[in-house]
């Protein structure tokens, strides 16, 4: 089998990343130019998402632990509020994940 006819499959770490074009090359290397799509903004968004989701996960674990303690202690009065707080945290996590993707698609 000839290696010329085999199409190379390039793996992408983040399929949602915008396409990046190489800047024009000059004799001294890349030349600056307008409208080049860089990944710095996307990387910052993903890092922010990871931080927020890790924080939400830690709070969710604390809420579940507190709810289990309250349930086993026989004080079930606060379980509704803990479930509501957990649901709000879940909704915020979904917003953090899907909001930037929607903004990139609209542009």
Report yes or no on 3 lying in a domain.
no
d(CA 86, CA 36): 41
| Residue, of 101 and 107, whose pLDDT is higher | 101
Average pLDDT, the chain: 77
Report yes or no on 8 lying in a domain.
no
Report yes or no on 1 lying in a domain.
no
Domain span at residue 84?
Answer: 39-106
β-strands 25-26, 29-30 pairing: antiparallel
Q: How many domains does the chain have?
A: 1
Report yes or no on 66 lying in a domain.
yes
Report yes or no on 17 lying in a domain.
no
The length of the chain is 107
pLDDT tens readout for residues 28-71 = 777 665 544 555 677 777 888 899 999 999 999 999 999 999 99
Which residues, 6 or more positions from 67, have their beta carbon under 8 angstroms from its beta carbon?
A: 79, 82, 83, 86
Which residues, 6 or more positions from 24, have their beta carbon under 8 angstroms from its beta carbon?
A: 30, 31, 33
């Amino acid at each position: 089998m000839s290696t010329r006819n085999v199409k190379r499959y390039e793996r992408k770490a983040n399929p949602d990343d915008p396409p990046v074009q190489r800047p024009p090359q000059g004799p001294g290397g890349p030349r600056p130019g307008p409208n080049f799509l860089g990944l710095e903004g996307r990387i910052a968004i993903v890092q922010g998402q990871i931080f927020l989701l890790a924080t939400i996960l830690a709070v969710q674990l604390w809420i579940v632990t507190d709810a289990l303690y309250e349930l086993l202690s026989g004080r079930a009065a606060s379980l509704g509020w803990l479930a509501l707080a957990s649901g709000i945290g879940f909704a915020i996590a979904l917003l953090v994940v899907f909001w930037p993707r929607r903004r990139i698609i609209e542009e």
